């Protein structure tokens, strides 16, 4: 197909984003993309916070849609003044497949689609991803079949869209509002702020993903990670209790760990700071606040990993086809006694290893029927991004969609190639992506 305007002028897209307000930046970039490719419509679908849907947050019609004004199409749409968000649940269709495989999908006109202005157009679905973190999907309707050069350029501008979203969501609640298909309690709001902004990270030496499935009454789970130049820090914690008190206990624990980590302290010192911070917090409240947890530091050059277990569920190791629990010394939970001295266990990862960290919400009595080691063993060919959601989904289903405690999973794949550049195509490593659904 012929393009109306060149798409390689990144400056034009960036200028469009910067000239617009934060709430209009994505829409303006989408409009520029549509004009560049001669598209009839361009939509940006953002990933829902549930991980099980996309949300149509910015829809840019570049030609008049005959269906405009049909109020029946407003069913299932959330509105906030002039903003609207439509949730599109994953159903195994092309949109979910594009996100899962991280491949641009080109679909021919579909005669089964009701008559509309786009019925005879080609549909292009491009994942909007950054370092393996699925941010959403770019959807275009083109009048002609795109050639491979155009498909490659669409993939590149989808990566550009990822950076536009990341940059502008710092200045507005629009994206967060669009992603929230369910309401948040105060404790859930606190808990959400404790999590890292990206739940997935791909690097040359590792791939990491985490997921938190909250209970109806927030259980105080958190996860965190941070990559330094030659090391990776991980944590998974579970604060005692439920609701706001658990969220506050989790805040103190995570704050202690992050503060010590950012001051360059050793893993043992991080544990000591978290413990003393929680002990002081409990004393000041005359309460009994504590948190179990696993914190770890991976040497990215050697694969050596140091782990501290503060009374937490043992992590699992998938090596080849064998699943075992890590043999870790168990110390007391953070905050029980200010004088607790922590010890660490040292292990070495091998290329191809997968570590799976969970909280006890994955093992509660309502979900005890799940064969967790078996599920981990069968997940070997999936990207960690899909693994964590699949494991959380299994717990949610087993509990009848009414978890009594938060269920949290963190998966770390070790590739052992820190001295090499990561293979990346438009924000994701295609060799690490999951295969299409059957």
Mean pLDDT, the chain, integer: 89
> How would residue 148 be classed by pLDDT, with cut points 50, 70 and 90?
very high
Q: Which two tokens stand for residue 352?
A: 């191809």
Angle between helices 186-194 and 243-262 (to 10 degrees): 20
Strands 345-348 and 330-331, bridge-based pairing: unpaired
| Fold classification of 186-414 (topology level) | Phosphatase 2c; domain 1 (3.60.40)
Look at the chain and count its residues: 438
pLDDT of res. 62: 58
Percent of the chain with pLDDT over 90: 68
Cα separation of 105 and 102, whole Å? Answer: 9
What are 213-227's pLDDT values in tens digits? 998 888 899 999 999
Backbone φ and ψ of 30, nearest 5°: -60, -40
The burial class, CB within 10 Å (0-12 / 13-18 / 19+), for 41 is buried
Instruction: Find the Cα–Cα–Cα–Cα dihedral 267, 273, 276, 279, rounded to 10°.
Output: -90
Q: Which of 128, 165, 135 lies closest to 27, judged by CA?
A: 165
> How would residue 408 be classed by pLDDT, with cut points 50, 70 and 90?
very high
Superfamily (CATH H level) for 10-179? GAF domain (3.30.450.40)
Distances in whole angstroms, Cα of residue 68 to Cα of each of 41, 75, 78, 276: 13, 14, 17, 60
SS3 sequence, the chain? CCCCCCCCCHHHHHHHHHHCCCCCHHHHHHHHHHHHHCCCEEEEEEECCCCCEEEEEEEEECCCCCCCCCHHHHCCEEEECCEEEEEEECCCCHHHHHHHHCCCEEECCCCCCCCCCCCCCEEEEEEEEECCEEEEEEEEEECCCCCHHHHHHHHHHHHHHHHHHHHHHHHCCHHHHHHCCCCCCHHHHHHHHHCCCCCEEECCCEEEEEEEECCCCCCCEEEEEEECCCEEEEEEEEECCCHHHHHHHHHHHHHHHHHHHHCCCCHHHHHHHHHHHHHHHHHHHCCCCCEEEEEEEEECCCCEEEEEEECCCCCEEEECCEEEECCCCEECCECCCCCCCCCCEEEECCCCCEEEEECHHHCCHHHCCCCHHHHHHCCCCCCHHHHHHHHHHHHHHHCCCCCCCCEEEEEEEECCCCCCCCCCECCECCCCCCCCCC
Q: What residues are paired with 128 via a beta bridge?
A: 136
Cα separation of 100 and 68, whole Å? Answer: 31
Cα separation of 11 and 22, whole Å? Answer: 17
Cα separation of 292 and 294, whole Å? Answer: 7
> With 70 as the cut, is the pLDDT of residue 8 above it?
no
Mean pLDDT of 370-394: 92
Task: Judge contact between 151 and 57, C-beta under 8 A.
Answer: no
Task: Judge contact between 356 and 409, C-beta under 8 A.
Answer: yes
Mean pLDDT of 260-275: 97
pLDDT of res. 380: 86
**Does pTM surpass 0.85?**
yes
pLDDT of res. 333: 97
Cα separation of 84 and 122, whole Å? Answer: 26
Backbone φ and ψ of 222, nearest 5°: -150, 160
Strands 304-310 and 330-331, bridge-based pairing: parallel
In the chain, which residues fall in CATH 3.60.40.10?
186-414
pLDDT of res. 75: 56
Mean pLDDT of 260-279: 97
In the chain, which residues fall in CATH 3.30.450.40?
10-179
pLDDT of res. 286: 59
> How would residue 5 be classed by pLDDT, with cut points 50, 70 and 90?
very low
Distances in whole angstroms, Cα of residue 173 to Cα of each of 168, 211, 258: 10, 22, 25
Q: Which of 164, 145, 142, 149 lies closest to 30, judged by CA?
A: 164
Q: Which of 354, 380, 349, 17 lies closest to 171, judged by CA?
A: 17
> How would residue 276 be classed by pLDDT, with cut points 50, 70 and 90?
very high
Cα separation of 370 and 351, whole Å? Answer: 28
């Amino acid at each position: 197909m012929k393009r109306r305007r060149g798409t390689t002028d990144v400056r034009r897209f960036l200028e469009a984003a910067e000239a617009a307000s934060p709430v209009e930046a994505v829409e303006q970039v989408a409009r520029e993309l549509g004009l560049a490719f001669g598209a009839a419509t361009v939509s940006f679908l953002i990933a829902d916070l549930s991980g099980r849907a996309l949300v149509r947050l910015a829809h840019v019609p570049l030609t008049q849609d005959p269906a405009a004004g049909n109020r029946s199409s407003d069913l299932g749409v959330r509105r906030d003044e002039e903003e609207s968000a439509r949730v599109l649940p994953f159903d195994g269709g092309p949109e979910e497949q594009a996100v899962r495989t991280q491949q641009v999908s080109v679909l021919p006109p579909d005669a089964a689609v009701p008559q509309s202005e786009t019925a005879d157009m080609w549909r292009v679905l491009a994942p909007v991803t950054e370092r393996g973190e699925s941010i959403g999907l770019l959807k275009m309707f083109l009048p002609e079949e795109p050639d491979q050069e155009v498909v490659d350029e669409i993939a590149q501008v989808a990566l550009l869209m990822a950076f536009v979203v990341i940059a502008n969501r710092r200045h507005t609640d629009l994206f967060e509002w669009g992603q929230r298909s369910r309401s948040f309690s105060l404790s859930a709001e606190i808990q959400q702020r404790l999590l890292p902004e990206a739940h997935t990270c791909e690097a040359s030496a590792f791939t990491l993903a985490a997921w938190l499935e909250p209970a109806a009454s927030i259980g105080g789970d958190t996860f965190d990670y941070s990559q330094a130049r030659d090391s990776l820090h991980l944590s998974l914690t579970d604060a005692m209790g439920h609701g706001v008190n658990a969220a506050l206990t989790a805040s103190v624990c995570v704050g202690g760990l992050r503060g010590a980590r950012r001051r360059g302290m050793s893993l043992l010192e991080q544990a000591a700071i978290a413990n003393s911070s929680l002990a002081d917090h409990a004393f000041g409240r005359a309460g009994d606040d504590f948190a179990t947890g696993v914190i770890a530091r991976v040497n990215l050059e050697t694969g050596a990993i140091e782990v501290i277990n503060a009374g937490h569920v043992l992590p699992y190791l998938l090596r080849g086809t064998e699943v075992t629990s890590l043999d870790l010394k168990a110390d007391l939970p953070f905050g029980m006694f200010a004088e607790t001295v922590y010890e660490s266990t040292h292990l070495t990862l091998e290329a191809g290893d997968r570590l799976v960290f969970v909280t006890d919400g994955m093992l509660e009595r309502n979900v005890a029927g799940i064969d967790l080691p078996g599920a981990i063993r069968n997940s070997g060919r999936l990207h960690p991004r899909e693994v964590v959601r699949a494991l959380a989904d299994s717990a949610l289903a087993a509990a009848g969609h009414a978890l009594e405690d938060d269920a949290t999973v963190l998966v770390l794949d070790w590739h052992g190639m820190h001295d090499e550049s990561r293979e990346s195509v438009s924000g994701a490593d295609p060799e690490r992506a999951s295969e299409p659904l059957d």
